Structure 1
């Protein structure tokens, strides 16, 4: 599947230039690096003096997948408990979500199951979920093994990547993988809707049978076939 991307594009794009807009949300405990991951993906930046997100913020990046222009609208949610009622409202309509934990902080991984449950309670059942173990550059301080996280992700039906917002390792790859999966789901839904529409049209079609055709059908029904 062809994938490409543009960072830091302006907001002056005309609607006609975009084929799809995919809403994503990034969730997880405070200080796991959600804002830094998003900044690395959207603008190729990392800020050492980054502050905690208050409420919800969002950034965008436009990519090309299968020759379709796709704008990823990514919502960065605050991890603090006091913002939970506000941020959960932004899960609705999300086609994909990243649940981020810090590989050096065990408690942030222990809380992942709660974040998954919350997403599944508020988001659509077809929302694509991805588990992200951030701060892979601090492997020497690791508190959560890759194997344990991968096993958990498999049990929960999540895609899994380890990233480093600092170095940029796997950040683009993880987002592009998630967007590819969302695109695949979107295409499948479109095909299903098209098939249902065709079926409804067939059901609503009135068939006209001529009198000589009726006679032929009656003769045929009277025959026994062995």
Structure 2
């Protein structure tokens, strides 16, 4: 379909990795983008991102995945890091409860610096370390349900569910964007239909659009926010 072609050619999705230091964010990205794992990796300072193509319904969609690259150690991830993000992987370490306890703070920061509708998946990493687990799978699921998040447990070491975590976010963003494209075209078509048939005794279907609370209840037909490639 034409709108799917537009999505793949004109858009890429910025996705951010957030969570406490040493939960495995960089290794998740390395495993997903390059199928690599660094057992002795150390936090670095700066901004790192990797652009990866993801197949969604037979189409290639570009995901630009950003890693905090050590900034989280200073609890000062900048607003520029979040700017334009439409997806997020919020990662904690299943073997360190304090990283799970930090999830609420990271969600607050994400929502402070980005759109409230950012597609977010809660990721419990290091699931391979079964003997060291401090956070039960049920706890992660429960928190995700309470916060309206997707949830998955992963292991960057053995690759378990790493691809699925990223693909879940990209797929949901793609679906939202696709629906917005369809709605926008329906709005235009219905306006044209109204202009063609008005005054001729025909019934006109009025497309109401999405209510935009920032516009005092007006309507908006804007696409789901994302970055132009």
1:58 aligns to what? 49
1:45 aligns to what? 36
Matched residues in 2 for 1:96 and 1:176: separation? 11
User: Number of aligned pairs?
Assistant: 194
Q: Over the residues paired in the alignment, what is the CA RMSD in angstroms?
A: 2.2
Equivalent residue in structure 2 for 1:156, among 128, 141, 147: 147
- 1:127 matched to 2:90? The reply is no
What stretches of structure 1 move > 6 A for 4+ residues in a row?
none
Q: List alignment gaps of at least 5 residues for structure 1.
A: 1-16, 214-226
What is the TM-score when the length of structure 1 is the normalising length?
Answer: 0.78
Equivalent residue in structure 2 for 1:70, among 58, 61, 64: 61
Shift of the alpha carbon at 1:193? 1.5
CA contact (8 A) 2:120 2:150 kept: yes
CA contact (8 A) 2:126 2:156 kept: yes
CA contact (8 A) 1:27 1:79 kept: no
Shift of the alpha carbon at 1:19? 5.6
Judged with a 3 Å threshold, the aligned counterparts in structure 2 of structure 1 residues 118 and 203 are, in CA distance, closer, same or farther, namely: farther
Structure with greater contact order relative to length (CA < 8 Å, sep ≥ 6)? 2
Equivalent residue in structure 2 for 1:26, among 8, 17, 26: 17
1:191 aligns to what? 182
Question: Equivalent residues in 2 for 1:1-226 (5 A)?
Answer: 18=9, 20-77=11-68, 78-82=70-74, 84-86=76-78, 88-203=79-194, 207=198
Q: Deviations over 1:167-189 (max 9, x none)?
A: 11110111112211111111111
SS at 1:31's partner residue? Answer: coil
Q: List alignment gaps of at least 5 residues for structure 2.
A: 1-7, 202-229
SS at 1:131's partner residue? Answer: strand
